[in-house]
Structure 1
Amino acid sequence: MKRLCSLKVYSLLLTLLILCSVARSQLRTDFYASSCPKVFRIVRKEVQNAITNEMRIAASLLRLQFHDCFVNGCDGSIFLDGDDSEKLAFPNRNSARGFEVVDTIKTAVESACSGIVSCADILTIATRDSVLLSGGPNWKVFLGRRDGLVANQTGANSNLAGPTETIQSILTKFTNVGLNLTDVVALSGGHTIGSSRCGVFNTRFFNFSGTGAPDSRIETSMLSDIQNTCPAENGDGNKTVPLDRNSVDLFDNQYYKNLLDGQGLFASDQSLATGNETLTETTRPIVELYSQQNQRFLDDFVTSMIKMANISPLTGTDGEIRKNCRKVNS
């Protein structure tokens, strides 16, 4: 009982700290209450249409916010086209998707209230709706971001975490933007939905770390399935495999159960539960907790998403409200 009370007090204090941080950055849940009151309804409708057409798009929109916020902050810079476009960075090239969905949402929002809602805020709302419509939690999104004026391809290449990185490397990138190790584990749970191309991970199933053998942590039936689906020779590197093979397209804590069973698709994910890394000793208990308590995972995921969406937003008169998410206003 004492431990439960302590956890509740800790959670309350953490939430208060987040709300204070959000308040300082001028973001509010009612930011568009007068200027564009229909924005939530419009975004929800378009996200629902997109998911009905292709369920995978929910995970794609979620990933877009990660990849936007970790580069220049949450400023919609990932949408910008051009020579320095973040879309052309290695972690995003032929991988980041959902841009057309955001374009459609932006067009609908502009029709209702032109020049009011930023692309960065549209992505924030769409991400929340993607999680919710996948069976995940709901939460109030803080809004008032403005759009950045420049992209940062170099930053995207260096700041985005990859599927083969160590926990320490990923933690460093999270710490650089004000997130911590619990955020790493909670936000990794976003991999409960979506899929990945064979070319991104298949070396782990054939020649892990140049050893000429698969990663020994992989559960045997999964190893066989992936080797058949993503063969090392003459395979289609663009073929996709679900990130969560046991609960496809449903936002729940099955991802963490998979890790404990050796069924993490990415090496970086699997290291949260098993491996030789020193930090695994710290992350595994969190994985175990989330695997046992779905609501605790969902609560922590929401907390971490609010923190992430508050990374260095442009507010006030900084930046602009783009009319077209793909280019700055002329």
Structure 2
Amino acid sequence: MVNNKTVAFVVAIGFIFLNLSGHCYGALQFGFYNGKCRGSDVEDIVRKTVLSKFLVDRTITPALLRMQFHDCFVNGCDASILLDGTNSEKTAPPNLSVRGYDVIDAVKTAVERVCPDVVSCADIIVMATRDAVSLSGGGRYNVQTGRRDGRVSLAKDAQILPSPSSSVSSAIQAFATKGLTATDMIYLLGGHTIGIAHCSFFQDRLYNFENSGKPDPTMDLALLTSLRRTCPRNATVDGKANLDQNSFSSAVVDKSFYTQIMLRRGVLQIDQELAVDGLSKSTVAAIAGSSDFTTKFGQAMVKLGGTHVLTGTQGEIRKSCRSVNSQTLMALVNG
């Protein structure tokens, strides 16, 4: 059995290994697994497994959306966020509240049963997220597959994840480093149309915005009053609030989020700034007034899913999404 210290060592050595060999980013394909699994429909297996989880817990949709974003934004969409280890990405502060690992594990078990050593964990994240979004009313978009799983997972790499208090300009710059435009960023933050944020992520906006001793003046007064009840100043429990403050659609993937932030009812600072910053407010208004949000959101998710992927002979197909394969482990440790 490999202990956690060995895993931490392996992912660190893997970092050196991959830098020596170099990344190879090839083209993904729609229907990559067609004909590769003894007649089994891989995407249908994923869909049915996600559905079984969704019927028990509908909050898996925002959980998986967040997981895909946090995975793809750090060293590309390679399922590195799934790897266990004492110093893996999972242990980084921005990822401590990431969840949904049980969903990915269940899908991996299901596909391995009929199609062993073929379907990557990186592809499972993307397919499972798509299916969860569809189940939450977001429309079903086609995803490209053919990714391979990375061997590197280091907590320090997650430091590049944008903060909830990021400015619009800094968020645009961060997304640009991933080949994503300002419009892509605005659509992807539309994932906040579903899910919650804990008080600790926006408490300063309620009581001491930018060390002013006062609340954020851009926040709607009724929302401020409501959030202060949810998040008392000296609370011992970290409460939570819906990111979409429209109570009728807070569990639905739709454009309501944009309408809410235009009404100054954004919970996170970055969300509210989208509606008032000159770099983004016209796009927000256009989305709020459009009828094609779900289509454009799906397109942005597909683009995110193509960020710096490993294909071909790079990476591996993990047997367990939580650990690198044993032969990889031996190769890395033994040099």
Tell me the TM-score normalised to structure 2 length: 0.86
**Kept in 2: contact 1:71–1:152 (CA 8 A):** no
Give, in whole Å, the separation in 1 of the partners of 2:140 and 2:207. Answer: 40
Letter in 1 for 2:240: T
Q: Report the counterpart of residue 300 of structure 2 in structure 1.
A: 304
Q: Where do 1:20-39 residues align within 5 Å? A: 25-36=26-37, 37-39=40-42
Contact conserved, 1:252 with 1:294, CA < 8 A, in 2?
A: no
Partner-residue secondary structure (3-state), 2:44? helix
Residue 55 of structure 1 deviates from its aligned partner by: 1.4
Q: Which residue of 1 aligns with 2:58?
A: 55
Contact 2:79 2:121 in 1 (8 A): yes
Whether 1:148 and 2:150 are equivalent positions in the alignment is yes
Q: How does 1:79-90 map to 2 (within 5 A)?
A: 79-90=82-93
Matched, 1:70 2:73: yes
Name 2:10's counterpart in structure 1. none
Counterpart of 2:4 in structure 1 is: none
Across the aligned residues of Structure 1 and Structure 2, the Cα RMSD in angstroms comes to: 1.2
In the alignment, is residue 227 of structure 1 matched against residue 224 of structure 2? no
Give the residue type in structure 1 aligned to 2:35. S
Normalised to the residue count of structure 1, the TM-score between the two structures is 0.88
* Structure 1: 5+ residue stretches without partners: 1-23, 275-279
Selected match of 1:273 from 275, 283, 289: 275
Establish whether residue 92 from structure 1 lines up as the match of residue 95 from structure 2: yes
Match of 1:284 in 2: 281
The answer on whether the counterparts of 1:77 and 1:149 sit within 8 Å (CA) in structure 2 is: yes
Instruction: Quote how far apart the aligned CAs of 1:294 are.
Output: 3.1
The structural deviation recorded for 1:284 is 0.4
Q: Is the 8 A contact 2:169 2:279 kept in 1?
A: no
- Cα offset, 1:299, TM superposition: 2.7
| Residue in structure 2 matched with residue 168 of structure 1 by the alignment | 169
Q: Report the counterpart of residue 10 of structure 1 in structure 2.
A: none
Paired residue type of 1:97: R
2:18 is aligned to none
Aligned counterpart in structure 1 of residue 43 of structure 2, from 40, 43, 51 = 40
What does 1:226-245 correspond to in 2, within 5 Å?
226-237=227-238, 239-245=239-245
Q: How does 1:99-138 map to 2 (within 5 A)?
A: 99-138=101-140
Q: In the alignment, what sits opposite 2:320?
A: 324
Residue identity opposite 2:173 in structure 1:
T
CA contact (8 A) 1:56 1:195 kept: no
Q: How does 1:185-200 map to 2 (within 5 A)?
A: 185-200=186-201
Look up the equivalent residue of 2:321 and give its one-letter code: C
Q: Would you say the 8 A contact 2:253–2:294 is kept in 1?
A: no
User: C-alpha deviations, 1:146-195, integer Å up to 9, x for none?
Assistant: 000111311111x2111111112111110111011101111110000111
Q: Deviations over 1:251-284 (max 9, x none)?
A: 110000001100111001100112xxxxx21310
Partner-residue secondary structure (3-state), 1:281: coil
- 1:3 maps to none
Percent of pairs identical after alignment? 43
The CA deviation at 1:315 is 0.4
Q: Which of the numbers 267, 291, 294 marks the counterpart of 1:294? A: 291
Which residue of structure 2 aligns with residue 315 of structure 1? 311
CA–CA separation in structure 2 for the residues paired with 1:63 and 1:145: 19
Q: Pick the aligned partner of 1:256 from 247, 255, 258.
A: 258
| Alpha-carbon separation, structure 1, partners of 2:130 and 2:155 | 26
1:310 partner letter: G
Once the two structures are superposed, what CA deviation does each residue of 1:129-160 show, in whole Å capped at 9, x if it has no partner? 11111100211110000000111311111x21
How much does 1:235 deviate? 4.2
**Structure 1 match to 2:9:** none
Contact 1:193 1:243 (C-alpha < 8 Å) held by counterparts = yes
Q: Secondary structure at the residue paired with 1:43?
A: helix
Alpha-carbon deviations, 1:8-58, whole Å to 9, x = none?
Answer: xxxxxxxxxxxxxxxx82311121001134211111112112222121111
